[in-house]
Amino acid sequence: MSAPNTLNRRGFLQLAAMASALTLPCARAEEPQLGAPVKSTSGDGRREPQWEERVTVTVGKGGDFEGTTERAIQAAADYCTRLGGGTVKILPGTYTCRNSIFVKSGLRIVGSGAETVLFKAPSFSTTLAADTDWFDQEITLADARGFNVGDGVCLRTKNPHTGGMDVLRRTLIARSGNRFKLDQAPRVNFWMDQTPEVAALFPVITAEFQSDIAIENLAIDGNRENNANLNGNYGGGMWFQDCSDLSFRRVEARNYNGDGISWQICHDVLVEHCHSHGNADLGLHPGSGSQRPVMRNNRIENNTIGIFFCWGVREGMAEDNMIVGNSGEGVSIGHRDHYNIVRNNTIEGSGKVGVLFRPERGEGFTATGNVIEGNRILDSGGDDGIAIDLQGVTEGNTIRQNTIEERRGPAQRIGIRIGAEAGENVLEANMIAGVATAMVDLRKG
């Protein structure tokens, strides 16, 4: 007789057969037949059929949604979102925006070219007249003139605990006199002793925690002369955060008192055939933590910095762009920005430096593994301008086959400068002409 806990041969075979029956379906699921049709299944976001048609609606005079403000565009976007995504076609016209246009996953916003203009209304500001705690969902304004329900606002204050700045974007959704309800609680304290400010500032088009979005064929006018500045970490002509799979094509982002196009912690962003110009700060701002951005065939001019690689931007590509007349740097790269390629661009008339490797905080913080190649870097800086400047302990980058040319006379201008603390970088086959000094190496020895 077998022991009670001993498995006899017949029991073992029965269990083996049961295990085989249980595992076979899993094996088949891991090996789908090639060419099998994809079928839409509830909750399956990984595999979706390529539908031939989704909903398309028009906005503007004679369109499905008539109006000349962001409200008509927002209504059309929300309608498409309710139907699982689609296209909002904005007809020719100027649309005055008192709040952002909030886009969701699966949306395509398409204008009618330069004739479609999203125009930011003038900003105004006031201070708070009462404390707002982090859990409150309302604010009291010292002067409510100009503020309306539905407006987008930016709240700014010095944090009473850390001394840093807190910046939030909210929408006013209800009102009693000078008191306004916010669409979300602030989750930080806005206390009177820190003189908190509320301003009618916002990005014109924005999204957070969304994916698969396209913005195409329209102009955004930031009305710079009538708006206060909004830092590109919080806003811009277009501003996105914690998103993925975004494409911006043939967008003109102009005259914003801040960045033209900014995206923060956004992955797989394509910016192509866009024109970002006349903005107070950055033309294109691939923001902190953004992976694999591609910026191709754009014209980026008359901003402060053309392309600013923020913190931890990796495996990006800036290729075939015209980066012209920016008052600071043409391209700026720094804090842990690794394995990016800056290739075949024309970087012309930069006010300070053509391509800057920022010094950051020292060892472990600077950019490495980047390739700067095949660019034309022309007329950089003032009389003491520098075409390519490697500052701090920057190392491990490759700078090759660039054409550096100064056409205004040599003065004290420098082609490539290597900072005193810089490590080893590969410099090869660069053509340098017209400057006072082709190469300056400040390292001892």
Q: Which two tokens stand for residue 222?
A: 């930031």
Nearest to 234 by CA among 295, 304, 152: 152
CA 85 to chain centre: 22
> What was the pLDDT predicted at 381?
98
- Output the pLDDT for position 445: 62
Name the burial class of residue 256, with classes exposed (0-12), middle (13-18) and buried (19+) by CB atoms within 10 angstroms of its CB. buried
CA distance 54 to 74: 18
Task: Spell out the residues 6+ positions from residue 356 whose beta carbon is closer than 8 angstroms to its own.
Answer: 329, 331, 332, 333, 334, 389, 391
Residue type, 220: I
Residues near 7 by beta carbon (within 8 Å), at least 6 away in sequence: 15
- Determine the Cα–Cα distance for residues 308 and 105; give it in Å rounded to an integer: 26
Fold of 86-94+107-117+201-441: Pectate Lyase C-like (2.160.20)
pLDDT at 31: 54
Q: How far apart are CA 126 and CA 106, in angstroms?
A: 37
Domain boundaries, the chain: 86-94+107-117+201-441, 125-199
Q: What pLDDT was estimated at residue 138? A: 98
Beta bridge partners of 261: 238, 284
**Cα angle vertex 280, ends 383, 74, to 5°?**
155
Long-range pairs for 111-114 at CB < 8 Å and ≥24 separation? Answer: 111/216, 111/217, 111/218, 111/219, 112/217, 112/218, 113/217, 113/218, 113/250, 114/219, 114/252
Instruction: Please enumerate in sequence order all residues whose Cβ is within 8 A of that of 46, keeping only pairs 6 or more positions apart, or say none.
Output: none
pLDDT by residue for the chain (445 residues), tens digit each? 344 444 444 444 444 444 444 343 334 445 555 566 789 998 887 888 888 899 999 999 999 999 999 999 999 999 999 999 999 999 999 999 999 999 999 999 999 999 999 999 999 999 999 999 999 999 999 999 999 999 999 999 999 889 899 999 999 999 999 999 999 999 999 999 999 999 999 999 999 999 999 999 999 999 999 999 999 999 999 999 999 999 999 999 999 999 999 999 999 999 999 999 999 999 999 999 999 999 999 999 999 999 999 999 999 999 999 999 999 999 999 999 999 999 999 999 999 999 999 999 999 999 999 999 999 999 999 999 999 999 999 999 999 999 999 999 999 999 999 999 999 999 999 999 999 999 999 998 6
Q: Residue 129 in 3-state DSSP?
A: coil
